Structures are given as C-alpha cells and as structure tokens.
C-alpha cells in the first residue's frame, strides 16, 4: 500500500515529529508499506530523529515561515500567506495526481483547509496530535482564547469532509460532537524498558517543560504539604525552559532540601529507575507519553484529571486521579501512596503491565487495520 504523510517539517525535536518518523519507519520496515513524507518548510535540513532509508522525503519548497518573517505589516503578511497557500495547493495536487497514493494523512498543518478538495483517488485522514482543550487552554490571552475557541468550533465543518479524523484519547473524542468519521488511536512510547524500578528510593519524579501548562507551581505547593508528613522523601522535577519562577517558589516555601530542579536528561531511564512515584500536575495535555513511560518503568502514578489523557490511561489499581488544580487533594493522593509501600509495589507492577498496550506494535496494528479498512484491502 502506498501512503503519504504531510507536515510542515521534520527538522524539529518535537514529540509529534518523533512519533511520525518512528511510525513511518515501522510501516516501511515492519509492514512493507511504501511511505512518503511530504513537507513544505524542510529547506534541505536533515530530519532531527532517525528515519528508515525506505521512507521517501519530498519537500515542496513553499516555506511559509520564511515568507511570514519577511513582512511586518499584517496586510502584507496575510497576502503572502494566501500566495503560499495557492502555491502549496497546486504543488501538492500535482504531486498527488502523479504519485497515486492510496492514503494521504495530514498532521493538521497548512493543508488542513484544502487537502480534502484534491481529487486524486486517495483516502484522506487528519491525524491530530493535540486535544481540543489544549488548543484553547494553551492560549493565555482572554481575547485570543475566545477567538481560538470560535475558530475551533468551525473545524468540524472541514473535518467532516475527510475520510477519517484520528484523535489520541476517548476523552478528546467526546469533545468533538457528532462526527461519524472520528477514531481514537493513541500514540506509542518509543521503547519498552528492559527492567522496572525497584521502588526502593524515597524519590518522586515529574518530567516536563517549565511552563504554565505543566503546573509545576501547583506541584510545589502540593509537595509543601507532603514534606510535612514525609520529610525524608524528595521530589525531582526534570525539564527544559526557564525555571526561575519555580526555583523562587521552592525557595520561598523552604523546600530546597526536598525538591530538586534538573535540566533535561539524555538518559531519562535512569531517573525513572531511581524513583518510586510519578506525579503529573499538568493543567492540560494531549496524550502525556511521559505518564506512560513512567508506567512502563513500574512507577505508580498520581495525576490531575486534566483534559486530556490521564483519565484514558490510568486505572485505580496503579493511578490516582485528582480533581484539577486542587493541591490539597494532590498532596493527599501522594501521601496515600507513600503510606503503603506494599500497595506501591503492587501498583507499579500493574502500571508496567498496562503500559505494554502502548508499545509500538499494538498501536501500529490499529493504524494498519484502519488503512486496510479505508481501502478495502
């Protein structure tokens, strides 16, 4: 089967790009698909992540980002963007008509509004790596958030024109209303660890970028309550970005001996294996793969029941879901695990077992089944 993915570029180090290149490589190497990745803004750069030599890369040379940076005027920027869109449509249509793909999957990029209009005989899929809530809650400016909400409310008018709209979680699926072409296929974790944590260290861990989304300010507040009951336990927060605000919060609350802020780790596995609990304090997510990675390493979980992802992934025997933004309840849930080491051990084992469902093979079998269903293969 001949398939193509469309995305602006694959030179970034983002999670979506990482998943795409692994997915394309697996389809080509393990399942024998003929796979092409079509970009608009690659500009000759190498893919950031490894990719199979069997996967063909084609860049259309549209360069939206370059055109956007040329202009300071809003009017000129919009005119330039419209010109890029026209160029993109014609270049992509020419390519699809020539290549005769069976399926074309857009990662909901610049082609979202027009890909369905290209009548090349292929089935068209939109693959969405975020969540409806994340696109709204991620906008902190109230006016911009309102405009974003209004814009997203119109998306189903276009989404209905595709053969399938694939989202990451059942929770997100429920937010899109009555779309009869929607499916749920979660992302996978890159690799399953060879061993799990012994849960013999009095250390909890949380991983993510130091920004408002990850809610580390809420986690620090919760840990100030945990430290009263369990002063011998340490929390390690690992992530990139500006952590000055969180560092000041730790200092203000007198938690310097209880909380460590660490930069991104090349070997995150060793940090999981040296921990006994994973805590997620995010205000919103798409599908938090760090949660599943922690499970795969045998860590029991405490998480806010934020939109979207945790409620899809966690089960009561290894994960405690807490009402969003309530730091008292977050602290109490953490303390519940810390008070019962035997329960932690049992929870960690069940977490590792559940994480096997998010390995690449079972997830890609769902994509394989969808492709065959759409093409009657």
Report how far residue 140's alpha carbon sits from residue 53's, in angstroms, rounded to the nearest whole number. Answer: 41
Asked if the structure places residue 193 within a domain, the reply is no
Which residue range(s) make up the domain with 63?
Answer: 2-188+359-375
Tens of pLDDT, residues 159-197 = 999 999 999 999 999 999 889 999 999 999 989 999 999
Residue with tokens 């969180």: 246
Do 29 and 48 share a domain, yes or no?
A: yes
Average pLDDT, the chain: 95
Asked if the structure places residue 195 within a domain, the reply is no
CATH number at residue 44: 3.40.50.2000
Do 39 and 116 share a domain, yes or no?
A: yes
Do 15 and 129 share a domain, yes or no?
A: yes
Asked if the structure places residue 48 within a domain, the reply is yes
Asked if the structure places residue 224 within a domain, the reply is yes
Looking at residue 69, its pLDDT comes to: 66
CB neighbours of 153 closer than 8 A, spacing ≥ 6? Answer: none
Contact status, residue 45 vs residue 13, Cβ threshold 8 Å: no
Do 239 and 335 share a domain, yes or no?
A: yes
Can you tell me whether residue 222 is helix, strand or coil? Answer: helix
Asked if the structure places residue 101 within a domain, the reply is yes
Strands 277-280 and 301-304: parallel
The pTM assigned to this predicted structure is: 0.93
Report how far residue 34's alpha carbon sits from residue 230's, in angstroms, rounded to the nearest whole number. Answer: 55
* Tally: H helices and E strands in the chain: 14, 13
Tens of pLDDT, residues 44-57 = 999 999 999 999 99
Q: Is the pLDDT of residue 24 over 90?
A: yes
Q: Is the pLDDT of residue 222 over 70?
A: yes
Report how far residue 216's alpha carbon sits from residue 238's, in angstroms, rounded to the nearest whole number. Answer: 10
Report how far residue 358's alpha carbon sits from residue 174's, in angstroms, rounded to the nearest whole number. Answer: 21
Structure tokens at 163: 């053969």
Do 227 and 174 share a domain, yes or no?
A: no
Do 155 and 207 share a domain, yes or no?
A: no
Do 173 and 249 share a domain, yes or no?
A: no
Looking at residue 77, its pLDDT comes to: 77
Tens of pLDDT, residues 230-289 = 999 999 999 999 999 999 999 999 999 999 999 998 889 999 999 999 999 999 999 999
Number of domains in the chain: 2
Least confident of 13-22, 93-102, 229-238, 367-376: 13-22
Do 216 and 312 share a domain, yes or no?
A: yes
Tens of pLDDT, residues 112-150 = 999 999 999 999 999 999 999 888 888 888 888 899 999
Q: Is the pLDDT of residue 292 over 70?
A: yes
Asked if the structure places residue 126 within a domain, the reply is yes
Tens of pLDDT, residues 342-363 = 999 999 999 999 999 999 999 9
Asked if the structure places residue 313 within a domain, the reply is yes
Looking at residue 80, its pLDDT comes to: 86
Looking at residue 93, its pLDDT comes to: 98
Task: Give Cα separations from 355 to 11, 26, 226, 305 (angstroms).
Answer: 29, 19, 27, 18
Do 231 and 118 share a domain, yes or no?
A: no
Do 353 and 370 share a domain, yes or no?
A: no
Do 149 and 266 share a domain, yes or no?
A: no
Q: Is the pLDDT of residue 71 over 70?
A: no
Asked if the structure places residue 198 within a domain, the reply is no
Looking at residue 139, its pLDDT comes to: 83
Do 152 and 228 share a domain, yes or no?
A: no
């Amino acid at each position: 089967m001949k398939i193509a993915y469309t995305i602006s570029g694959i030179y970034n180090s983002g999670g979506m790009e990482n998943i795409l290149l692994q997915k394309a490589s697996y389809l080509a190497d393990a399942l024998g698909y003929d796979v092409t990745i079509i970009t608009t803004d690659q500009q000759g750069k190498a893919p950031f992540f490894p990719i199979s030599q069997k996967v063909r890369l084609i860049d259309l040379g549209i360069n939206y980002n370059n055109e956007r940076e040329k202009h300071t005027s809003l009017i000129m920027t919009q005119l330039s963007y419209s010109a890029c869109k026209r160029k993109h449509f014609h270049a992509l249509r020419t390519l699809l008509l020539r290549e005769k793909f069976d399926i074309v999957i857009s990662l909901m990029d610049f082609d979202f509004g027009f890909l369905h209009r290209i009548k090349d005989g292929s089935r068209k899929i939109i693959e969405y790596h975020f969540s409806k809530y994340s696109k709204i809650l991620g906008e902190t400016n109230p006016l911009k958030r309102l405009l974003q909400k209004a814009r997203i409310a119109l998306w189903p008018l276009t989404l209905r024109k595709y053969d399938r709209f694939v989202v990451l979680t059942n929770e997100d699926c429920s937010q899109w209303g009555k779309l009869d072409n929607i499916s749920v296929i979660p992302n996978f974790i890159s690799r399953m660890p060879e061993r799990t944590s012994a849960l013999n260290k009095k250390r909890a861990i949380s991983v993510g970028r130091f920004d408002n989304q990850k809610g580390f300010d809420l986690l620090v507040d919760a840990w100030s309550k945990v430290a009263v009951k369990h002063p011998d336990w340490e929390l390690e927060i690992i992530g990139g970005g500006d952590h000055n605000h969180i560092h000041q919060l730790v200092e203000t609350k007198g938690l310097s001996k209880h909380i460590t802020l660490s930069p991104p780790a090349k070997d995150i596995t060793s940090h999981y294996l040296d921990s006994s609990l994973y805590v997620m304090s995010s205000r919103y997510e798409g599908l938090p793969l760090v949660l599943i990675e922690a499970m795969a390493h045998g860590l029991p979980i405490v998480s806010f029941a934020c939109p979207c992802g945790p409620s899809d992934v966690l089960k009561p025997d290894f994960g405690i879901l807490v009402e969003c933004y309530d730091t008292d309840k977050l602290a109490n849930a953490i303390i519940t695990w810390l008070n019962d080491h035997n329960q932690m051990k049992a929870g960690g084992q069940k977490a590792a077992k559940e994480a096997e469902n998010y390995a690449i093979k079972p997830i890609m079998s769902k994509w394989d089944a969808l492709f065959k269903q759409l093409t009657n293969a």
